[in-house]
Chains A and B, each alone.
Chain A
Amino acid sequence: MESKTKTNFIVNKENNTLTIKRNFNANRQLVWDCYTKSEYLEKWFAPKPLTAKTKEMDFKVGGHWLYAMIEPNGTEHWGRTDFTEIQPIDYYKSLDGFCDENGKLNPNMPRAKWHVTFKDLNQQSQVETVVTYNSLQDLETVIQMGMEAGLNSTLERLDELLVSLTK
């Protein structure tokens, strides 16, 4: 399956970083809101067919977003993002993690550092996300978990979705 993609995705296997760049057709403030307000995050952060729901959101340094990704059969996977640095509407840094529904982190699951930068680009906005894992195996653990949570069907649906969006 080879589709024309709008996302620039660079993997640096030596530094264990993923750099993901994407332009959005909206002003920077709006895109920033979509990344930092739970009512918006819930609408896009969980890849279909998963849905996201928020239990706690405190977007400030030292605060966190506690959320669940829910499978169609009702199984919940809890995640927590701790905000470590915020510079509206330029960038924020955070630390992700897997946890239980009370936000207690699972020490067996790896955490990754996120650095998300927002820029104006003509009439659009560009978001660059750099995710740093401690090791490539950490990254693999995260993916496998995602796959178990039913993301395979996402891949099957992707072509369909792309067609409907480019109409």
Chain B
Amino acid sequence: MKRDVFQAIADPTRRAILLLIAAQALTPNALAEEFDISRQAVSKHIKILNECELLEQQKVGREIFYQLKIDKMKEIDQWLEQFRQLWEDRFNQLDELLITIKNKQHGK
């Protein structure tokens, strides 16, 4: 199944994980200690984040550290920017319409 960044941030635990690993690289164990849920549940969220390609893995000795791939998170903002521009375009059309109506009302 193809996943994307939106599935990653759809869940509050995953958002919290993203915040934690944005600040510093953490091992799965260290991450699990931050939450009241089971280690298995945390691993499941890590798996999803990994499938969303949001995690960078570093092996130090026998331990794996996870860190956030910042570039991938930027996709969300780029996508929202497109939506913002759609509204901008709509409102510019409304500006034009208001001018047209006002001119008509003033008998121009």
Contacts and interface: CB of A to CB of B under 8 A. Distances in A.
B89 interface: yes
Q: Per DSSP, are chain B's interface residues mostly helix, strand or loop, or mixed?
A: helix
B94 A44 contact: yes
Nearest to B12: A14
B87 A136 contact: no
A161 B86 CA distance: 12
Contact of A135 (B10, B80, B91): B10
Interface stretch (B33-41, B52-60, B64-72, B97-105): B97-105
Given A13-B9, A143-B82, A158 B98 contact: no
Contact of B98 (A11, A24, A48, A135): A24
Interface size bracket, A side: 35 or more
A26 interface: yes
B89 A161 contact: yes
Contact of A47 (B15, B80, B89): B89
* Contact count band on B: 20 to 34
B85 A154 contact: yes
Interface stretch (A1-9, A78-86, A89-97, A113-121): A1-9
A137 B10 contact: yes
A20 B88 CA distance: 10
Interface string A146-162: 11000100110110011
A56 interface: no
Interface of A is mostly: helix
B97 A34 contact: yes
A21 to B, nearest CB: 10
Given A143-B82, A158-B88, A34 B94 contact: yes
A140 interface: yes
Interface of A: 5-7, 9, 11, 13-14, 18, 20, 22, 24-26, 30-31, 34, 40, 43-45, 47-48, 135-137, 139-140, 143, 146-147, 151, 154-155, 157-158, 161-162, 165
17 contacts: A7-B88, A7-B91, A9-B87, A13-B15, A24-B98, A31-B98, A34-B94, A34-B98, A34-B101, A44-B90, A44-B91, A47-B90, A135-B10, A137-B7, A140-B6, A143-B82, A158-B89
Which 9 A-B pairs rank lowest in CB-CB distance, beginning with the nearest? A44-B93, A44-B94, A26-B98, A9-B84, A47-B89, A43-B97, A44-B97, A140-B6, A22-B91
